[in-house]
Amino acid sequence: MEYRTLGNTDLKISAITFGAWAAGGWMWGGSDSNQAIKAIQDAYEKGVTSIDTAPIYGMGASEEIVREAIKDIPRDKVQLLTKFGMRWDLKKGEFYFQSKDNDGKDVDIYKYAGKESVKQEVENSLKRLGTDYIDLYQIHWPDVTTPIQETFEAVAELIKEGKIRHAGVCNYTVEQMKEAEKYVNVVSNQVPFSMVNRDIEREVVPFCRKNGKSILAYSPMERGLLTGKMKPGQKFEKGDHRADNPYFTADSITKTNAFLEKIRPLAEEKNATLAQLVLRWTIERPGITIALAGARNSQQSVQNAAAADIELNSGDIDLINDELKKIS
């Protein structure tokens, strides 16, 4: 495994980080908690020491799964990344969308990051995670109803209290990052990035590289699209958010699979799966610090971890990029 420094801190995180959204089941058609726990533990054995979760992932389920998975691991040997600012248990802030929890009950999701909410959320997360500090605390989505100053002054207080070590953001624009930076040292931005979704390379990546901020790339596999296992007409379990995602139309899957077939010989040459090749390419991109790789079972998580061991030379990367240009 490769370890990289988080922003301008002394914290090292694994280049492949375990993304625990799917482990929580929510919007992924459910999950087996025992398999998810083993997935985290087996990934740790392969060097994946960093775990990214959030309260909203299963309405607390993901954080509780993480707690169970790491209970026998020394706390200073893992890095816990979690989030705040998405409430299903409080109707305040900006209404985001209606969803269902893991029991099938309707829930309304709100983006809210008022001071009192931030303070309450961190206590809830600390309890669910079974720890007394969080390594990286990230606002999940911008909250247009609360001044950024209020939110991040609250986060700065949490750092002083020792409840969190570092502050990060998710899905923030450059301007939003600049505003948050006035009140706390923002060390990272967690944003969507994949071979087929590279919008952040226009503004966010240059800003973060220039200012020493880490980029944590989420959905690098584009929610499974880039594994090569999706087929036109793919059927998803009830409650799976991918059913209505434009990346999973028949045309999109067909187009993407044609690209993946072009780079399959390179994967075979490296004795790697397509998914592993995609993950390695992701963490080779300029400005990308880590890739968040989700898994719901041990086989997936161990395979994800092995992506860090693949070696790509400049010619390999050029080959992939040349094929990508044909579908962009």
225-250: pLDDT as tens digits: 998 888 887 777 777 778 777 788 88
pLDDT at 27: 56
183 is catalytic: no
Do 21 and 180 meet the contact criterion of CB atoms below 8 Å apart? no
DSSP 241: G
pLDDT at 316: 97
Which of the residues in the chain have pLDDT under 50? none
Strand 12-14 versus strand 3-5 pairing type: antiparallel
Read off the pTM: 0.93
Number of residues that make up the chain = 328
Task: Please give the structure tokens belonging to residue 245.
Answer: 């995602």
pLDDT at 29: 57
DSSP 92: -
Separation CA 235–CA 58 (nearest Å): 22
Separation CA 44–CA 194 (nearest Å): 24
- For residue 98, give the nearest of 90, 89, 107 by alpha carbon: 107
pLDDT at 228: 84
Do 20 and 66 meet the contact criterion of CB atoms below 8 Å apart? yes
pLDDT at 93: 96
Task: Catalytic residue, from 57, 110, 183, 218: name it.
Answer: 57
DSSP bridge partners of 139: 84, 169
The CA dihedral of 207, 210, 216, 220, to the nearest 10 degrees, is: 70
Contacts of 102 (CB under 8 A, 6+ apart): 24, 25, 26, 30, 31, 58, 59, 61
CATH number (1.10.2020.10, 3.30.1330.40, 3.20.20.100, 2.60.120.620) of 3-223+276-310 reads 3.20.20.100
Phi, psi at 51, each rounded to 5°? -130, 125
Separation CA 327–CA 132 (nearest Å): 47
pLDDT at 306: 97
Task: Please give the structure tokens belonging to residue 117.
Answer: 């909410």
173-200 pLDDT, tens digit each: 999 999 999 999 999 999 999 999 999 9
pLDDT at 252: 86
Separation CA 314–CA 291 (nearest Å): 20
